[in-house]
Structure 1
Amino acid sequence: MYKRFIVFVFIFMLINLNSSFHAHAEKNEEVEVEEMCLNQSVIELKYGMQKLWIEHAWWSRSLIVSTLADLEDREDVLARLLQNQVDIGNIMKPYYGDEFGSKLTDLLQEHILIGGKLIDAVKSNDKALVDKMNKEWYQNADVIVEFLASANPNWLKNELTEMFYAHLQLTINEVEARLQKKWKEDIRTADLNESHLIHMGDFLTDGIVKQFPEKFK
């Protein structure tokens, strides 16, 4: 009788142990699936954001080249670059709404148009106009930074300011190097600007993911 009781207890323990193991395994599997989904959704946003900021670097450079060389495609290149700002605004809309995205587009398009005037001023060696456009360019950057920082506590104002100012400086360095026919420096600076904008895109993506974790499950 006692032996039967021991066997019964042993079997009971095995059944419970087996059930606990499967329950634990299923829970781990659910966590893994959730993490995979999280990673996939983050990757999709990160890829989309990187693509847009690479395009920003690429078409900004194309505008520099077309403007300085008096190419006939300048207005078409400018139109494509302005469309890039629409696309950047649109990628923000699912998180901050249509009004926010459209306002960001307006500010970024102003950034492009001021930059275009600055390139013209540098090309014509009009120092007074260069100083005027450069001042407006940095003021526009400050407005963009303030607008973004007010929407997301993870987008720290000082970090964003440094990023935007660095982008402006690298862009004007491209213009000056190209005007002086310093081709290697021009290419190196263009590469730096692209890498910098990819980093800025990642910074924006990370901030969105931290602010809206429920959207990435």
Structure 2
Amino acid sequence: MKTRLFVALLLAALCAFPALSPAAQPAAPAAESAALTTRLALRDLWVEHIFWIRNYVIANQAGNRQQADVASQEVVSNATAIANSIAPLYGQPAADQLLKLLAGHWGAVKQYSDASVGNSAKDKQAAVADLTSNAKALAKFLATANPYLPEATLNTLLAAHGGHHIAQIDELGKKDYKAEATTWKHMREHILALADALTAALVKQFPDKF
């Protein structure tokens, strides 16, 4: 019921934009529509993740505490939305556990950003270690929950994602905006691929829901 409601709400939101409205497109099977809507929803959530973290990094380096605080709050809000998106399928305890892991990911990225501003090599190294450890924990959690998500593959994807955060922070700190633009492009493409992989695994594991 919660999954159907989730899909229905997302379809309603899409209908607010005529060019994207399902009604403006040829009719598709319900299962395909549900899977597509979930794919688009997860893509949007994960792109917001990198968008708000980038906003935090820029504000943090500029010394704009008000902007940084708002961006930080949005990162947490987004992480909560990502975690709660799995609750209809895996239950709220699993969603809560995912939120803790996402909080660990954000905490490590934030620590690296803050350490970069403070020019603390020791804190940056600690942040990288935490980010690496968190990627392994996230991969294990997701692979345990879904047999269609290989742990080794997930760890590679998540480690690369963490590497994008680090590269972006370093490039923005050096004011190498051209390099950061390239990193952002790769980061966005990578996070979309990750979101698509999660959606595909969900559809395979819960065919009756899609």
TM-score range, shorter chain: 0.7 to 0.9
Q: Distance in 1 between matches of 2:79 and 2:103?
A: 6
Quick check: 1:70 aligned with 2:63? Answer: yes
**Equivalent residue for 1:173?**
167
Written as runs of structure 1 = structure 2, the 5 A alignment for 1:5-16 is none
Q: Distance in 2 between matches of 1:45 and 1:73?
A: 31
Written as runs of structure 1 = structure 2, the 5 A alignment for 1:71-110 is 71=64, 72-110=66-104
**Equivalent residue for 2:41?**
48
Residue identity in the other structure for 1:185: A
Deviation at residue 41 of structure 1 after TM alignment: 0.8
Q: Normalising to structure 1: TM-score of the pair?
A: 0.81
Residue identity in the other structure for 1:204: L
- Larger helix proportion, structure 1 or 2? 1
Q: Distance in 2 between matches of 1:171 and 1:112?
A: 10
Quick check: 1:122 aligned with 2:116? Answer: yes
Q: Distance in 1 between matches of 2:157 and 2:43?
A: 15
Q: Unaligned regions of 5+ residues in structure 1, if any? A: 1-32
Cα RMSD for the two superposed structures: 1.2
Q: Distance in 2 between matches of 1:141 and 1:171?
A: 13
Q: Is the 8 A contact 1:60 1:81 kept in 2?
A: yes
Quick check: 1:139 aligned with 2:139? Answer: no
Of 13, 29, 37, the residue aligned with 1:36 is 29
Deviation sequence 1:120-164 (CA, Å, 0-9, x none): 112222111111111111111111111111000101111111111
Quick check: 1:184 aligned with 2:168? Answer: no
Q: Is the 8 A contact 1:155 1:204 kept in 2?
A: yes
Q: Distance in 2 between matches of 1:98 and 1:179?
A: 39
Q: Unaligned regions of 5+ residues in structure 2, if any? A: 1-26
Q: Distance in 2 between matches of 1:195 and 1:66?
A: 24
Residue identity in the other structure for 1:112: W
Quick check: 1:193 aligned with 2:187? Answer: yes
Q: Distance in 1 between matches of 2:121 and 2:54?
A: 22
Which protein shows a greater Rg? 1
Residue identity in the other structure for 2:122: A
- SS of the residue aligned with 1:105? helix
Deviation sequence 1:15-35 (CA, Å, 0-9, x none): xxxxxxxxxxxxxxxxxx9x7
Residue identity in the other structure for 1:49: L
- SS of the residue aligned with 1:153? coil
Q: Distance in 1 between matches of 2:29 and 2:68?
A: 44
Deviation at residue 191 of structure 1 after TM alignment: 1.8
Q: Distance in 1 between matches of 2:67 and 2:172?
A: 18
Q: Distance in 1 between matches of 2:79 and 2:198?
A: 15
Give the aligned length.
183
Q: Is the 8 A contact 1:58 1:194 kept in 2?
A: no
**Equivalent residue for 1:215?**
209
